[in-house]
Amino acid sequence: MKLGTKLMGGIALTTLMATTAAQARDLTVISWGGAYQEAQRGAFFEPYIAAHGALRDEAYNGELAKIKAMVDTGDVTWDVVQMEAPELENACDEGLVERIDWDRLGGQGQFIDSAAMGDCGVGAIVYSVILAYDEAKLGADGPQSWGDFWDTERWPGKRALRKSAKFTLEIALLADGVAANEVYNVLSTSEGVERAFAKLDEIKDDIQWWESGAQPPQWLAAGDVAMTSAYNGRISTAVSEGQDFATIWDGQVYTLDGWAIVSGSENLDAAYDFLKLANDPEQQAVLSNAIPYGTIHPAAAAAVSAEVQPQLPTAPENLKNALHQSTDFWIDHIEELNERFNNWASQ
């Protein structure tokens, strides 16, 4: 081979390597936005960047269709996504997210039992949907239960509920007097479903639907709604910023979110590096101290401040009359009940 040919070949190879490096995509992590994602930046994203390099974070509202489109077309631009438990397991069944190699995370034994979310999920947080209102507007003796949430004569004005069957149907049955430990027995019957929708019919004209976790505290602050269901951490953050919002733990509906890796991610190694960091007990405590969601690693709980402990969904006092959302129920019924709910809400 002539020298010129060797030289040109070397230049071409160098150019190809530079182009490939330039085209390499940063690890992209998808979460729920707002105050929660801001807390994640301090607890996870910035430490990851310091230890491993670049990371992009984006927000979404749980649109599984976006992930499906990426996987189906082979154009995967998301890597690690935080998902609600039923959607995560359904995505796993459809092959939209990778099966977790727990050996790469040090094994399942170091986490709480429910942190292994099927074959494809790694627990992220324990969170809950609670009732909230503005004490500055309704006073300290405002609504104290989901039954009160339905009392439009004593507390007139709009009420905000999440625009989904999940959480909303459970809340309707709790408001109708169903005990927390009986909710899924009732909701598993056609009569129970009718009962939930009949209860929602009572206040349908007064409901303002929220789709993003940032909306309930914004609407309370603006006076757009008299009371709302909300993620507990979003309300706590608003209180820390000076709002007079009350959190009613009676009838809280609590569950886990999990991390999943999108199938076909080109950043698989980086994704596992991120999951290791996100499940480090010290970093989990940083998150909980910034926004009070429960931890997944048992060793993290001790590092959560004494001030924050009572604000966690898992605090013993807050678990009285709480409903642990059934992932199994929603895996079996999410499609049919969402269809029924969406048709009802649009009428």
Residue 64 to residue 67: CA distance in whole angstroms = 5
**Percent of the chain topping pLDDT 90:** 87
Residue 258 to residue 114: CA distance in whole angstroms = 10
Nearest of 272, 274, 318 to residue 293 by alpha carbon: 318
What mean pLDDT, rounded, does the chain reach? 92
Q: What is the pLDDT of residue 110?
A: 82
pTM > 0.85: yes or no:
yes
Q: What is the pLDDT of residue 200?
A: 98
SS (H, E, C) 286-310: HHHHHCCCECCCHHHHHHCCCCCHH
Q: Does residue 316 surpass a pLDDT of 80?
A: yes
Confidence of residue 14 (pLDDT cuts 50, 70, 90): very low
- Which tokens sit at 226? 């008299």
3-class DSSP state of 228: strand
Candidate from 21-25, 58-62, 238-242 with smallest mean pLDDT? 21-25
3-class DSSP state of 116: strand
Confidence of residue 152 (pLDDT cuts 50, 70, 90): very high
CATH domain 128-254+317-346 topology: D-Maltodextrin-Binding Protein; domain 2 (3.40.190)
- Which residues are within 8 A (CB) of 146 and not within 5 positions of it... i.e. 6 or more apart? 131, 171, 174, 175, 250, 251
Q: Which residue has the higher pLDDT, 58 or 11?
A: 58
Strands 27-31 and 207-210: unpaired
Q: Does residue 12 surpass a pLDDT of 90?
A: no
Tell me the per-residue pLDDT of 173-227, one tens digit each, with 9 for 90 and over: 999 999 999 999 999 999 999 999 999 999 999 999 999 999 999 999 999 999 9
Average of per-residue pLDDT across 158-174: 98
- CA 342, chain centre distance (Å): 20
Q: What is the pLDDT of residue 11?
A: 41
Q: Does residue 13 surpass a pLDDT of 70?
A: no
Confidence of residue 114 (pLDDT cuts 50, 70, 90): confident
Q: Do domains 3-126+256-314 and 128-254+317-346 have the same CATH topology?
A: yes
Q: What is the pLDDT of residue 113?
A: 80
For residues 316 and 246, is the Cβ–Cβ distance under 8 A? no
Residue 40 belongs to what H/E stretch?
helix 34-40
3-class DSSP state of 95: coil
Q: What is the pLDDT of residue 197?
A: 98
Tell me the per-residue pLDDT of 34-65, one tens digit each, with 9 for 90 and over: 999 999 999 999 999 999 999 999 999 998 99
How many Cβ atoms sit within 10 Å of the Cβ of residue 305?
11
Parse the chain into domains and list their residue ranges.
3-126+256-314, 128-254+317-346
DSSP annotation of 191:
H
3-class DSSP state of 261: strand
**Percent of the chain topping pLDDT 70:** 93
For residues 92 and 275, is the Cβ–Cβ distance under 8 A? no
DSSP annotation of 241:
T
Tell me the CB-side half-sphere exposure of residue 185, using CA atoms within 13 A: 5
Nearest of 80, 40, 85 to residue 253 by alpha carbon: 85
Q: What is the pLDDT of residue 346?
A: 94
Domain 3-126+256-314 bears CATH identifier 3.90.1150.10: no
